[in-house]
Structure 1
Amino acid sequence: MTGETIPFIDLEKILEQFECKKLRDACEKWGCFRIINHSIPLTLMDEMKIVVIALHDLPMDRKKNNKDVIPGSGYFGPTVFNPVIESLGLYDMGSSQAIQYFCSQLNATPHQRQIIETYGKAIHDMAVKIGQNIAESLGILDADFEDWPCQYRINKYNFTSETIGSFGASVHTDSRFLTLLQDDENVGGLKVMDNSGSFVSVAPFHGALLANLGDIARVWSNGRFCNVKHRVLCKEPTTRYSIATFMLGPRKGNVEAPKELVDHDHPRLYQPFTYEEYKTLRVSIKKARDKSLHDCEVLKLLHLV
């Protein structure tokens, strides 16, 4: 696959057999794809970027009001291990109450609240739609992702001339099912790994969304889908922003492959678990700093065969 580019999926054609097959191939071979002709207005995406910049320009004491609702859902700033990134977070963006709480933490203006709520509903609905499209590409027509909570992170990378060549985010897989990324339309740096082990640059593309599949998608698909490894590299001394929406996992019940994907030729690969159990496992691995087990490989602990 070396030399190929990340696939584009046209949502206006997703009901056509060719586009549906292209989506399945992208999930299996890449674990990521660009989404074009989606339903989120470009003007809304641009307005949300303006809000993101304004929120990151708030005083530090205000940003620290963005407290965790669940572990890892609030503000975090630069650290010794990663001095260039800071991020604000919102848990359960499908909930209007959660969005209002996030806005209250940051004392967002009425206009900012309106943009955040409008964008939040649009991107949440898009995540649900993409999840259903992915399921349908495997012939599963009754998959329901409506109650899978979505988390939202707005990131700022403070790149300088001194950080060129360093990581804004080191190589990792996402712990969730699906990530929808509105990347910076001007500043590159994101790279994804293809199945040859080479990293492919994700060039800025205004108006498109990037979909990444995470660990939960690999388990849910019974190993058919790739949980893509990716990283962010500092390429130029400028500020980079991204808006990431994570569809986590089922709110209730276990993460496990649907019955349609398990048979004699395809035995169940992973023991069932809840998303909270898996997230706790990943966090414990990081805290222990087990050098023998990268967080990209945590799923090995749950492999059955």
Structure 2
Amino acid sequence: MGSDFKAIPLIDISPLVEKIDDPSMVSDGDLLEVVGMLDGACKEAGFFYVKGHGIAESMMMEVRDVTHKFFELPLEEKRKIRLTPGTGYRGYQRVGENITKGKLDMQEAIDCCAHIKPGKYGDLGKHLEGPNLWPDYPSNFEVLLENYASLLRDLSRKIMRGIALALGAPSDAFEGETAGDPFWYLRLIGYPVSADIPKEQRTDTGCGAHTDYGLLTLVNQDDDICALEVRNLSGEWIYAKPVPGTFVCNIGDMLKVWSNGIYQPTLHRVVNNSPRYRVSVAFFYESNFDAAVEPVKFCREKTGGVAKYEKVVYGEHLVQKVLTNFVM
């Protein structure tokens, strides 16, 4: 439900990563200790760092490095993979094209997401059909990012198994119809220095205050720039200070609905006040695209017996957001 936290907890999830897929280990003491820490973090802050996640720090750095290299290209080169409705809302957006709550964000980005075959979800999925757009430079961009997304999808699945146990559910509770075929988004974001943006185009933030749409977000951020801020229950903005080798994780809207509010997503924003360009690579792990997410029975029973949220079809929720997120 949130608290007046002053710092974001750091969790070593190595016991979870190593044991969560073995049914005989769900009562393991080290694993259950991690589950307890996940429960506390989701209730108190909605945010946590993870280490011991099994993704090589060298790969995390390489992903940020190719992101920096792409954003250093001339605008005309970057716009060769420009995001449009015709690309399934995949590709590059220049500074000022992304909107949060009606306000321009001072960021540029590339959006990639899970492949949707034409017609797979009918009218529900048509806006996001199409292949991801990859730049020619850096030359390793496509292979690296596809491999990275695959690894983070599996890591996210394991963390969600831990969160399921934290809520008192079976470890595979989010699989099957909820997230057995999870949709995912990978967003590579660049936050320029304010002085490099024409004064009439500037806004206060690189990304305005918001919650995320899905189940879980993993953020790989530059090691030496404080910019991501998380709001506690008193309305204070707390820095998610970079911790090398970790992901910053936060829970999203679909988990709030599924858990009937036991876990609440936390408002966060990005303000790059540093004199240097910053990148952040966010991986969004979502429910199935066509999942109808609603408060589950055992979470309703824990929270008074009444559903606090109406059923949400994830794809409808996402498409509604996407169609109003960009200035074309």
TM-score range relative to shorter protein = 0.7 to 0.9
Q: Aligned pair 1:130/2:146, yes or no?
A: no
* Distance in 1 (alpha carbons) for counterparts of 2:185 and 2:308: 27
Deviation (angstroms), 1:62: 3.7
Equivalent residue, structure 2, for 1:67: 83
* Matched letter for residue 7 of structure 2: T
Deviation (angstroms), 1:162: 7.3
Equivalent residue, structure 1, for 2:142: 113
Q: Aligned pair 1:40/2:78, yes or no?
A: no
Equivalent residue, structure 1, for 2:306: 267
Structure 1 pair 277/112, CA: closer, same or farther in 2 (3 Å)? Answer: closer
Deviation (angstroms), 1:274: 0.7
Query: What SS does the aligned partner of 1:53 have?
Result: helix
Equivalent of residue 182 in structure 2, options 140, 148, 169: 148
- Quick check: 1:94–1:121 contact (8 Å CA) kept in 2? no
* Distance in 2 (alpha carbons) for counterparts of 1:94 and 1:260: 32
User: How large is the Cα RMSD of the aligned pairs?
Assistant: 3.0
* Distance in 2 (alpha carbons) for counterparts of 1:238 and 1:174: 26
Equivalent of residue 18 in structure 1, options 29, 33, 44: 33
Structure 1 pair 133/111, CA: closer, same or farther in 2 (3 Å)? Answer: same
Equivalent residue, structure 1, for 2:194: 160
Structure 1 pair 148/285, CA: closer, same or farther in 2 (3 Å)? Answer: same
- Quick check: 2:5–2:44 contact (8 Å CA) kept in 1? no
Q: Deviations over 1:245-285 (max 9, x none)?
A: 01122223301223322238332111112112223444678
Q: Aligned pair 1:84/2:100, yes or no?
A: no
Q: Deviations over 1:103-135 (max 9, x none)?
A: 6x4224553333222212111111111111111
* Distance in 2 (alpha carbons) for counterparts of 1:286 and 1:162: 23
Query: What SS does the aligned partner of 1:88 have?
Result: strand
* Matched letter for residue 129 of structure 1: K
Identity percentage of aligned residues: 25
- Quick check: 1:128–1:146 contact (8 Å CA) kept in 2? no
* Distance in 2 (alpha carbons) for counterparts of 1:280 and 1:212: 21
Q: Deviations over 1:196-229 (max 9, x none)?
A: 2211111111110011111111111111112110
Structure 1 pair 45/285, CA: closer, same or farther in 2 (3 Å)? Answer: closer
Equivalent residue, structure 2, for 1:297: none
* Distance in 2 (alpha carbons) for counterparts of 1:114 and 1:200: 35
Structure 1 pair 201/117, CA: closer, same or farther in 2 (3 Å)? Answer: same
Structure 1 pair 83/109, CA: closer, same or farther in 2 (3 Å)? Answer: closer
Aligned residues: 283
Structure 1 pair 6/93, CA: closer, same or farther in 2 (3 Å)? Answer: farther
Query: What SS does the aligned partner of 1:89 have?
Result: strand
Equivalent of residue 102 in structure 1, options 109, 116, 132: 132
Mark the runs of 5 or more structure 1 residues left unpaired by the alignment.
288-305
Equivalent residue, structure 2, for 1:302: none
Query: What SS does the aligned partner of 2:104 have?
Result: coil
Equivalent residue, structure 2, for 1:221: 259
* Distance in 2 (alpha carbons) for counterparts of 1:201 and 1:252: 35
* Matched letter for residue 272 of structure 1: K
* Distance in 2 (alpha carbons) for counterparts of 1:165 and 1:89: 22
1:153-302 matches, cutoff 5 A: 153-161=187-195, 166-263=204-301, 265-282=304-321
Structure 1 pair 243/117, CA: closer, same or farther in 2 (3 Å)? Answer: same
Query: What SS does the aligned partner of 1:223 have?
Result: coil
- Quick check: 2:194–2:273 contact (8 Å CA) kept in 1? no
* Distance in 2 (alpha carbons) for counterparts of 1:22 and 1:262: 22
